[in-house]
Amino acid sequence: MKLIVIGGVASGTSAAARATRVNPDVEVTLYEKDDDISYSGCGLPYYISGVIDERSSLIINTPEKFSDKYGITMKASHEVTKIDPEKKEIHYKDLVNDEEGTDSYDKLIISTGAKPIMPPIPGIDLKNIVSLRTVNHADRHRRITTNSEVNKVTIVGGGLIGMEMAEAYAELGLEVTVVEKSEHILSLINSELSEKVENHCRENGVKFFLGQGVTEFKGKDKVEKVILDSGKEIETDMVLIAIGIRPVSKLAKEAGIELGVQDSIKVNGRMETNLDDIWACGDCVQSVNLVSGHPAWVPLGSTANKQGRVAGENAVGGNNFHRGILGTGITKVFDYIVATTGIKEDEAKAAGFDPFSITIKAPNHAGYYPGFEYFSLRGIFDKETGRILGAEGVGRSGVDKRIDVLATAIYAEQTADDLFQIDLGYAPPYSVPKDPVAILGMLAKKKI
């Protein structure tokens, strides 16, 4: 049996490796457009900031290492240009030797990932305007930021990548300005929490232009100014475009594969597309939100890894399943942890719930123990059933633990009373006798 995998970052390598483990007789060929495979995209901001010194630390496997380890034929720097599901063939272009060719498959896995959105704003092609998705992008950042004439950077888009990079640039000593079209950064959390993150960023020297879009980039050769729709001009030496990503699904679409939310590839929990013998996984596919039951496209490395495993297993005769996502997300912005899971009020209403929210000032651990801090924890509950639907947290400490606990509770369809009942670990360095999760449950019970 011959398996072709298109795309070799998180889900593609996960799928390819898993296929060879489950069925050692399968012949796997992996095509990747880039020259790097199997790297940690989530680590790129820390490589740019210098927190991670070595480029090689981010590379989990080189094509050679991966090939040796799993017996997979690696085709890095090979772009797949067409899938022919009738003939069970793919067409590719060898980007190094500029040659074209075809290859045949019995089973195909598409893991083409996602790519940054580059808006068609005048001046977008000026030098020093960058995006961030691959290790090569990160290398480009490092080349620009090490130039002593680059002192000011403007980030367009205050989402996860934008804010992680605000910290990274500040670490490098650059003056950081963030332009965000919405009234607040980090739309994954409620505005009362994102304001806290904005203030924390301001304390770290970051300037914000909120509720404003970019109309033009100006400069001779390199970018020199960012023009906002308010008319405001920001002097800059560099621009990061971080307004979002979109799934790379054109290849799949042209082959007759159905697309879903935001043009992501439609798959079921077995990672099957609508076409026989073609699976898809990772940042290019649609998933389902387990709370709302609605289709969702939330491209994250953790989900990609699981989906790759499932697709790889099923493509070679296995039987695995990915149930869906909760929309859990976490990031570090300077000294703050920002995290979310489950659904927001508007999504809850759309899914037929009657949501209400509670926000608490939550102790990370005992008040008398060193390192005591409050963080903000917000829970969204259904009024009728008391079910926990979503949660968000912001603060210096204790956030990641409670959001993972709440993600588990949300996954298991637990209620406010359950949050009170769960026997969580208490010792002064780790929590308080009534853990913030229990407090959230107690307060929510009162409102039901």
Q: Which one of the spans 25-33, 37-45, 173-181, 243-251 is the region binding its own copies (CB under 8 A)?
A: 37-45
Q: Which of residues 277-336 bind its own copies (CB under 8 A)?
A: 290, 300-306, 309, 322-323, 325-332
Residue 150: CB atoms within 10 A of its CB come to: 18
Beta strands in 157-206 (DSSP E): 175-180
3-state secondary structure of 208: strand
**Shortest separation between residue 424's beta carbon and its own copies, angstroms:** 5
Closest to its own copies by CB, 152 or 322 = 322
Quote the DSSP letter at residue 346: H
Q: Is 49 in the site for its own copies (CB under 8 A)?
A: no
Q: Is 360 in the site for its own copies (CB under 8 A)?
A: no
Closest to its own copies by CB, 134 or 154 = 134
Q: Is 52 in the site for its own copies (CB under 8 A)?
A: yes
Using CB under 8 A, count the residues that bind its own copies.
66
Q: Which of residues 160-219 bind its own copies (CB under 8 A)?
A: none
Integer Cα distance of 381 and 316 in angstroms: 41
Closest to its own copies by CB, 38 or 67 = 38
Decide if 42 is catalytic. yes
CA angle (324 as vertex; 318, 330 as ends), nearest 5: 120
Q: Is 427 in the site for its own copies (CB under 8 A)?
A: yes
**Shortest separation between residue 409's beta carbon and its own copies, angstroms:** 5
Closest to its own copies by CB, 251 or 432 = 432
* Two tokens, residue 373: 């801090």
Q: What does each C-alpha distance from 109 to 30, 151, 164, 273 come to in angstroms?
A: 9, 44, 31, 9
3-state secondary structure of 416: helix
Quote the DSSP letter at residue 182: S
**Shortest separation between residue 223's beta carbon and its own copies, angstroms:** 29
Residues 6+ apart with CB under 8 A from 56: none
Distance between start and end Cα atoms, the chain = 57
**Contact string (CB under 8 A) for its own copies, positions 362-391, x = contact:** ----xxxxx---------------------
Quote the DSSP letter at residue 284: G
Q: Is 401 in the site for its own copies (CB under 8 A)?
A: yes
Q: Which one of the spans 131-139, 173-181, 209-217, 434-442 is the region binding its own copies (CB under 8 A)?
A: 434-442
Beta strands in 111-206 (DSSP E): 114-116, 129-130, 152-156, 175-180
Closest CA to 285 of 309, 252, 242: 252
Q: How does strand 336-342 pair with strand 329-333?
A: antiparallel
Among 23, 27, 42, 77, indicate the residue that binds its own copies (CB under 8 A). 42
Residues in touch with its own copies (CB under 8 A): 10, 40, 42-43, 46, 51-52, 57-58, 290, 300-306, 309, 322-323, 325-332, 337, 339, 341, 366-370, 400-401, 403-405, 407-409, 411-414, 418, 420-431, 433-435, 438, 442
Catalytic residue ranges? 42
